[in-house]
Amino acid sequence: MEHKGVTIWFTGLSGAGKTTISREVEARLRAQGYKVEVLDGDVVRTHLTKGLGYSKEDRDENIRRIGFVAHLLTRNGVIVIVSAISPYRAIRDEIRAKIGNFVEVYVNAPLEVCEARDVKGLYKKARAGEIKMFTGIDDPYEPPLNPEIECRTDIETLEESVEKVLRGLEKLGYISLPVVS
C-alpha cells in the first residue's frame, strides 16, 4: 500500500502508556496494510544510543538519533511510531521541524497514576535515591504545548486512546480508516 510517510511521536512520563498505545496503533495499521516501523525508547537505548547517559545533553542526543532514523523512514513512505519519554520540548520541536510530517501524541497521565503503575519499579528507585535525574521526580518533563493528539490514560480506556490516535491520523490525511457498517 502506498501512503505518505509520517512520524507519530508518543511522548509522556514513564508509565503513562506510550508503549501500550503505540503497540496497538502499530497492530491496527499493519492489519490495514500500512508500512510501519516502531522506534521504542527502551529498545533504542540498548542498540542505537547505547552508552548515552541521562544528562540533558545525552537525552537530547538520544532523541536526535531517534529523530534521524525516523526522518529517513518517514521520507521513504513509512509510518514511524516513536515511543520515547523525550522530556524536553525544545528537542521535540527541533525533530518536528526536521521531519515535517510529524504528529505529536501526548500520552498524559498524572505523576501519581504513573507511579502507581510503576511496572518497572523505577519510580520507587528514584524516590529512594537509587536513580538520579529521573523524569518527573528530580528531572523535569515539559509537556507539549500544542500536541496534535492528547491521550488521557488516567480517564480513557486503551481502545479510546487508540481510536483517538487513528482518527487523528485520518483527520490529518495520513491514513484512511475502513468504513464501519
Active-site residue, selected from the candidate residues 14, 22, 83, 86: 86
Catalytic annotation on 176? no
Contacts of 120 (CB under 8 A, 6+ apart): 14, 15
Q: How many domains does the chain have?
A: 1
**pLDDT for res 181:** 44
Cell, residue 122: 523505577
Residue 1 in domain: no
Residue 21 in domain: yes
Output the CA–CA distances (angstroms, integers) from residue 59 to 1, 13, 22, 91, 147, in the order listed.
35, 14, 21, 9, 20
pTM more than 0.85: yes
Residue 179 in domain: no
**pLDDT for res 11:** 97
**pLDDT for res 56:** 85
**pLDDT for res 180:** 55
**pLDDT for res 2:** 66
Residue 38 in domain: yes
**pLDDT for res 25:** 97
Domain boundaries, position 73: 6-171
Residue 69 in domain: yes
**pLDDT for res 71:** 97
CATH, residue 31: 3.40.50.300
Residue 75 in domain: yes
Residue 147 in domain: yes
Output the CA–CA distances (angstroms, integers) from residue 63 to 5, 45, 124, 151, in the order listed.
19, 10, 25, 21
Alpha-carbon span 139 to 121, nearest angstrom? 17
Residue 72 in domain: yes
pLDDT along the chain (181 residues), means of 10: 88 95 97 94 77 83 93 96 95 96 97 91 88 88 96 97 97 83 44
Sheet with 102-108: list strands edge to edge: 36-40, 79-83, 6-11, 102-108, 149-152
